[in-house]
Structure 1
Amino acid sequence: MSAGLLLGAMALDAVMGEPRWLWSRVPHPAVLMGRLIGLADIRFNTGPRWHNGVLVVLGLVAGAALLGVVIEALPLGWLWSLIGGAILLAQKSLVQHVQAVADGLRYGVGEGRRAVAMIVGRDTRAMDEPAIARAAIESAAENFSDGVIAPAFWFLVGGLPGILVYKIVNTADSMIGYRTPRHEEFGWAAARLDDVLNWVPARITACLIALAFWSGRAVDVVRQDAGLHRSPNAGWPEAAMAGVLDVALSGPRSYHGQSRDFPWVNGSGERQIGVAEIERAISVLWRVWAVVAACTLVLALF
């Protein structure tokens, strides 16, 4: 049943996305997760921080799994699972955010910077057009893995409890999984568990991108450059995307005013990129989404 529900959730997400009329009136589940994690950060990020961080993550995982089980047990539980899955997938919203960068660049670099600042954590004030395009494409690849393939994978594996556990861990990592004095110990468990939950989906994403375009070049770039990324997982979809588009990604950038000299991914690829390459990346997202939907349909039927 999970495959059929996943297919329905994917279709609903692709059509509806995140309607403003709804989420302007009630808080999105991801917002509620964020509030809960924020409260835990305030209350428990003291004393033995590593120990408390582990306990918080265990509590979040147990609570998310229990909530999923309870919802699935309700009357019409399959329907609530389908709706929950659609809400927690992010294909359409990801495409809209990446497209906004391309649309902004059409008006000028300033608008492009403002749009890309909504989806990346690096400094954007000094970005030129190629840097904006690289940031948008990298975000498209990484968030396709984190926001579409990984939640779909865990929904397929564990139903609504599976996707809820994944999303709350991923949200915790995005909030407290940083190597800062405040969060290095407290957020360690969230960051490591997020790495574990994304290990398989990140590699599936890279394979799907290469498969969707039958691209040997993507396979070569993944083999050579996926391990260069500072994340154990994000380099895989990013390298595959770079190979399919034949563009150079990653490279030097600035965080909080400090320049970081990261290695290039597919360094021989095109570096003078812009709107056209961003929109080609969006086409990649939809093509791979279609491949995933087709595979899910086959699973649902057989």
Structure 2
Amino acid sequence: MSLGLMLVCAMCLDAALGEPDWLWSRVKHPAVMIGNLIGWLDRRLNQGTGRHLKGVGVLALLFCSAWGLGWALSLLGPVVEILLCAILLAQKSLVAHVRAVGDGLLTSLTEGRTQVAMIVSRDTRDMTEAQVARSAIESAAENLSDGVIAPVFWFLVAGLPGLLAYKAVNTADSMIGYRNEKYRDFGWASARFDDLLNLIPARLTCVMIVALSGQRSRWRAIVADARRHISPNAGWPEAAMARALNVALAGPRSYDGQLRDLAWVNGDAPREIGASEVFRACHMLWSVWGLALGLVSVWVVVKLIF
């Protein structure tokens, strides 16, 4: 079975089942196991001298181990590959988490803050309704790239080994890739390599959002906002999503009690937004997923013909 056909099956399986609680309450999710390993390495190695070199070693260990494990598991056949690929995709769970923020805002601001705190790392206690909604939409755009399009891309490029290696690096970036005193040296290699692996997927995500929303005439402005973003990759899907929904994203926010005056994305658009815009973002998530599924399906057919 071709990688493309296996990917189509995995995408549909993920969209149908998502993350079944009955399964992950009994066994550990692969991402959790990767996270546990990274946490152990962090506690053991992120101390003393030579942290930069230790961080490079951690990245090499994670990447090579994940690649080797993916290669070994791929020998078990297409059913195993499809199941693991579906597990490592995050479409349905992403939409569910983002929609929960919108539902929370319809209940109360407090509930909205509670739900958005589950998907962002910034301070949420004093967020306004608009800040909660913007945070949810930004997370939706970034994780659409990191959690859906990038895994799809790397599975097509390198099969299960490529997908597992990508997930290991991406998890490392989310845990140790911070630009603070603790992780500036130890997490540098993981953060930069994650930037490299997401370079193409982030821009593909942006292009798909632009194509679906009819915002091609605003491409120059999208590129300009993406380049001003603090992240070399997250700005691309965020800038496209902001135009697709006609909302302003990013801007000042607080981390660990410290206010960071970050640039606005699509800053001239409405900033006072709420649950309805969050739900529109969820619709866009499914639209991009549908386009990705269609493109992969066309690729499968073309490969079969030629």
- Please indicate the TM-score interval, normalised by the length of the shorter structure: over 0.9
CA positional deviation for 1:180? 2.2
Q: Specify the alignment match of 2:283 in structure 1.
A: 283
Residues in 2 aligned to 1:280 and 1:245: alpha-carbon distance in whole angstroms: 7
1:104-154: CA deviation from partner (whole Å, max 9, x where unpaired) = 001110100000000011111111111110000000000000000001100
* One-letter identity of the residue aligned with 2:19: E
SS at match of 2:254: strand
Q: Specify the alignment match of 2:19 in structure 1.
A: 18
Q: For residues 1-302 of structure 1, what are the structure 2 equivalents within 5 Å?
A: 1-46=2-47, 47-74=49-76, 77-216=77-216, 219-302=219-302
* One-letter identity of the residue aligned with 1:36: L
CA contact (8 A) 1:50 1:185 kept: yes
Residues in 2 aligned to 1:281 and 1:219: alpha-carbon distance in whole angstroms: 19
* One-letter identity of the residue aligned with 2:292: V
* One-letter identity of the residue aligned with 1:272: E
CA positional deviation for 1:222? 1.4
Between the aligned residues of both structures, percent identity stands at 55
CA contact (8 A) 1:113 1:125 kept: yes
* One-letter identity of the residue aligned with 2:88: L
CA contact (8 A) 1:149 1:201 kept: yes
* One-letter identity of the residue aligned with 2:70: G
CA contact (8 A) 1:221 1:242 kept: no
Q: Which runs of 5+ in 2 are unaligned?
A: none
CA contact (8 A) 1:4 1:297 kept: yes
SS at match of 1:52: helix
CA contact (8 A) 1:252 1:263 kept: yes
SS at match of 1:157: helix
CA positional deviation for 1:79? 1.0
Deviation beyond 4 Å, 4+ runs, structure 1: none
SS at match of 1:125: coil
CA contact (8 A) 1:218 1:240 kept: no
CA positional deviation for 1:218? 5.1
* One-letter identity of the residue aligned with 1:72: S
SS at match of 1:270: coil
CA positional deviation for 1:221? 3.4
Residues in 2 aligned to 1:221 and 1:248: alpha-carbon distance in whole angstroms: 13
CA positional deviation for 1:219? 2.2
SS at match of 1:43: helix
| TM-score scaled by length of structure 1 | 0.97
Residues in 2 aligned to 1:274 and 1:143: alpha-carbon distance in whole angstroms: 20
CA positional deviation for 1:216? 2.3
* One-letter identity of the residue aligned with 1:53: G
State the Cα RMSD in Å.
1.0
* One-letter identity of the residue aligned with 1:176: I
Aligned length in residues: 300
* One-letter identity of the residue aligned with 2:6: L
* One-letter identity of the residue aligned with 1:28: H
Residues in 1 aligned to 2:130 and 2:243: alpha-carbon distance in whole angstroms: 17
Residues in 1 aligned to 2:218 and 2:87: alpha-carbon distance in whole angstroms: 31
Residue 215 to residue 129, structure 1, CA distance change in 2 (3 Å): same
Residues in 2 aligned to 1:237 and 1:98: alpha-carbon distance in whole angstroms: 16
CA positional deviation for 1:43? 1.7
